[in-house]
Chain A
């Protein structure tokens, strides 16, 4: 029995194998397995999410982004759009100021100087103002250098000198951001009281702030224009600070798209900020007689205060009473009221 099965088993096995081979479909070239049939596809991935990300075995997870063609749009923004926005904002503002100066000239003290002064900004306020202002000017120049230095300054001073200067400008930009931010916070806190928009501002704006003609709309400590500057500094300053620290501490909070977005917000707000500050500097210096003293010595002429901040002056005089240590104001001045 065992000898029979020893014969028959291989025979059955052989037949079974033959059947299997015949029954199995003959593989034709068309039916060959295509290993790329289900494989990831570059074009498809880019269409789906505009970037390709995978897994890397190195610790730097930023490098897991294989491709981000969005860099191209950012490049377009930085090299074309930003230069237009910045150029138009800054040069446009300068042009407006030059035209205004040529047509209107310096806004004079119409009632002349009384020789009597009143404290407008105390030492602390002036310190904060000038700390912020100095930082702002250096930040603005070093920032503009990043956008406009290559086409404008580099051809003039050459590669080495421009690179050296840009390196220092970058350090200054990074370090001075701290006192600037502190300045913006202090400005926000110390002047918030006088900068809430109110009904007086509507009247002031309706009368064009007295920029044209010889009008002097009433104002409290800060008129609507100054309130505008205040809010530009507070909001613009906060935006450039927030986005600037993002750029300074790259990839702590966001990925590549966040960095690009931060740079876009930072640069647009910055050039508009610079344009606004040009107007602020103009009106505080050559644009208006007697204005610089407010931030210079901190004391303004009473007649200046009467012309430009009548409500504030009344308030101050009511609070402190006439100051006998100084000569009395000329009567012509009070008649002008």
Chain B
């Protein structure tokens, strides 16, 4: 089995936000929730870089570790998913997540946190693959159809890469070698405890 990862080549990202839009559309994500976002660092200054960030599907995921009801699970592909039937909307995963991935719909009382929602790596949830229930709760299950996450698939500059970690790391390494520079795989050290040496 492949170990699925995301890699954002910040030297290619042009902050077009198409990945954000594609994600919202593909999964019919409710208003106010962003499973993916593009953060621009040093905006307007020399050296500015944009990074597209969602759930990184961490190794030894912090969200899963702190969840009081243990609603997270990791698939054979290394994708971190959760059950909205078990989630109680406590917000703890957001405190633990290094990437700000968990999102909460404003439905509950006070803290207005409903069931947590996050990037599923286009892999749905615990319901049957491609079922109506799965789509309503988690969005499309592209992985079950043999497709990769839509955000990366339609990235216009191929800045955002998704797929087997070893393959996308290889692609990135070759790019860096060819063009002679690279600002590294953002978040890999934190998420996977490894970096891509180039």
Contact = CB atoms under 8 A, between A and B. Distances in A.
A56 B38 contact: yes
Interface in B42-74: 42-43, 46-51, 53, 62, 65-71
Given A55-B43, A163-B71, A63 B181 contact: no
Nearest to B50: A54
Given A39-B49, A67-B99, A167 B88 contact: yes
Interface of B: 10-11, 15, 17, 20, 32, 34, 37-43, 46-51, 53, 62, 65-71, 85-92, 94-100, 109-111, 113, 180-184, 186-187, 189-190
A78 B49 contact: no
14 contacts: A52-B39, A54-B42, A55-B39, A58-B37, A63-B39, A66-B39, A66-B41, A67-B98, A67-B187, A74-B66, A75-B66, A160-B86, A256-B95, A259-B95
A150 B67 CA distance: 8
A71 B40 contact: no
Main secondary structure of the interface of A (DSSP, over half): helix
B69 A45 contact: no
Contacts of B88: 163, 166-167, 170
A112 to B, nearest CB: 51
Interface stretch (A17-25, A28-36, A101-109, A229-237): A28-36
A213 B106 CA distance: 59
Contacts of A248: 110-111
A71 B98 contact: yes
A62 B39 CA distance: 11
B114 to A, nearest CB: 11
Given A56-B38, A170-B90, 5 more contacts: A36-B181, A54-B51, A66-B51, A66-B187, A74-B66
Main secondary structure of the interface of B (DSSP, over half): loop
A150 B98 contact: no
A145 interface: yes
A65 interface: yes
A74 B92 CA distance: 10
Nearest to B53: A66
Contacts of B182: 36
B17 A57 contact: yes
Nearest to A246: B111
Contacts of B110: 174, 248-249
A63 B34 contact: yes
B69 A154 contact: yes
Nearest to A51: B98
A158 to B, nearest CB: 11
Nearest to B101: A63
B69 A150 contact: yes
Nearest to A78: B66
B36 to A, nearest CB: 10
A67 B190 contact: yes
Contact of A74 (B38, B49, B85, B96): B96
A60 interface: yes
Nearest to A170: B88
B61 to A, nearest CB: 10
Interface string A79-123: 100000000000000000000000000000000000000000000
B98 A58 contact: no
A256 B67 CA distance: 17
Contact of B38 (A57, A79, A174): A57
A43 B62 CA distance: 20
B69 A75 contact: no
A56 B99 CA distance: 14
A284 B111 CA distance: 36
A154 B70 contact: yes
The 5 closest A-B pairs by CB, nearest first: A54-B41, A54-B39, A38-B47, A36-B181, A163-B86
Contacts of B113: 250
A26 interface: no
A38 B95 CA distance: 32
Contact of B20 (A55, A58, A67, A247): A58
